[in-house]
Amino acid sequence: MSDSDFDFDLFVIGTGPGGEGAAMQAVKGGLRVGVAERYRQIGGGCTHWGTIPSKALRYTITNTMNVLKNPVFREMGIHASPTMEQLRRGTAQIIAKQVTMRQSFYDRNDVPIQFGHARFVDDHTVLIDEKEPVRAKQFVIATGTRPYHPPNVDFDHPNIYDSDGILDLAEKPGTITIYGAGVIGTEYASMFRNLGVKVNLVNTRSRLLEFLDDEIVDALAYHLRDQGVVIRHDEVVDRIEGTDDGVILHLKSGKRIKSDVLLWANGRSGNTEELGLENVGLQVNKRGQLEVDQQFQTAREHIYAVGDVIGYPSLASAAYTQGRAAAMHILEQKNGNLRLDDIPTGIYTSPEISSVGQTERQLTEACIPYEVGQSQFKSLARAQIMGTTVGMLKILFHRETLKVLGVHCFGANASEIVHIGQAVMDSQDLNLEYFFETTFNYPTMAEAYRVAALNGYNRLF
């Protein structure tokens, strides 16, 4: 077929970070690009149900509670208990700004958006809402995921929520049980505890966030418990009983936990059921996710998939880069995955966590001779000024070459701080010496790099 037989060179299904990254990269490369979006506005789950609303709410809660706990305000006799509606009030404005900004990207690049559900009918054709056929030479699937709903959990009960629905909680509960202690579960545990809610965090594994550095995980677990969060490891749900005044979680260990509300935060499913994948010979795994190669091609090489719908790492930041990488491969500009093995984690607990590179456990198992440099935030002037002294920065580096092998941060602004270490780690010319041969502004949180680097360097002999 010639290109004139197609409506578009590339058709993207989904306008979240992955779809946007693919569409913008492709159109700037000269391709005719079209996009389908099932929701009434663009932005995907990231903008409307996940990253943006949850992080906006977290920011509001953290700032509000810090102000209310400030001794100056207490001396002035200022006491308040904001409602959930008041705390959410600014979130809608942020979402609206995000939608307007992202819509402008499509408008000024002349990328048409067709609102409706897209479904494959053959290798090169999709129907929009079963009405309008669109033919394209190549496709990018960026449909994202949704919270996993096991059949034995009654999500219609007014006190049982998933991670999307919890954002619409009408009133602040007195107690909450969170089943699932992954990234989403730990973030919400921090958020609700900051509100003064009693939190039960039920973990199906033996440790929190096992993919992180052990010392960072230990610090998080200690801090959550210090705040009053009750953590239960190695537990498996038996059944969930909704009552008139709350929810009872029955565990297979025999334990029973009663709380006002329950948040199910255990797993997500790919939005792939109604895409008509059977019509193009594609199958999904048990989580409804698509398998792809290093170029983000599915088993059908003209159909790519990016973002949460392909699984790990399920980060908005990674999705955008994956979309760009897929488009660059289509454009024959790049035959690689744009440093996608070097993705920093960003976990918005309180305090937040961010890391990049290898952990101590991985380096030990690989028999790599490494050393550790640490900086405790309680020793930093900026942290003392801001009152954010909980936290630490760890730099892992090769004992002989001083090459930075990993950076792990727990504390205020961790997700920002980590990028300095990421840049040095990725450099072919820089190593640990960069941190103590460079002048950092004082007082800053970034100064932690100089402190940690000298701490580690002084261990060498």
Q: Where are the domains of the chain?
A: 3-146+269-330, 160-265, 351-457
At residue 77, the pLDDT reads 74
Tokens representing 23 are: 């569409």
What is the biggest distance separating any 2 CA atoms in the chain, rounded to whole angstroms? 76
Mean pLDDT of the chain: 94
What average pLDDT does this structure show over 210-223?
Answer: 95
Superfamily, domain 351-457: FAD/NAD-linked reductase, C-terminal dimerisation domain (3.30.390.30)
Q: pLDDT tier at 4 (50, 70, 90 boundaries)?
A: confident
What average pLDDT does this structure show over 80-101?
Answer: 90
Q: pLDDT tier at 427 (50, 70, 90 boundaries)?
A: very high
Question: Same topology for domains 3-146+269-330 and 160-265, yes or no?
Answer: yes
What average pLDDT does this structure show over 403-424?
Answer: 97
What average pLDDT does this structure show over 291-301?
Answer: 95
At residue 75, the pLDDT reads 77
High-pLDDT (> 90) share of the chain, %: 88
Count CB neighbours of 104 within 10 A.
10
Q: pLDDT tier at 1 (50, 70, 90 boundaries)?
A: low
Q: Taking 80 as the threshold, does the pLDDT of residue 79 lie above it?
A: no
Count CB neighbours of 3 within 10 A.
10
Q: pLDDT tier at 16 (50, 70, 90 boundaries)?
A: very high
Q: Taking 90 as the threshold, does the pLDDT of residue 56 lie above it?
A: yes
Q: Tens digit of pLDDT for each residue in 21-41?
A: 999 999 999 999 999 999 999
At residue 42, the pLDDT reads 96
What average pLDDT does this structure show over 323-331?
Answer: 96
Superfamily, domain 160-265: FAD/NAD(P)-binding domain (3.50.50.60)
What class does CATH assign to 3-146+269-330?
A: alpha beta
Q: Taking 70 as the threshold, does the pLDDT of residue 2 lie above it?
A: no
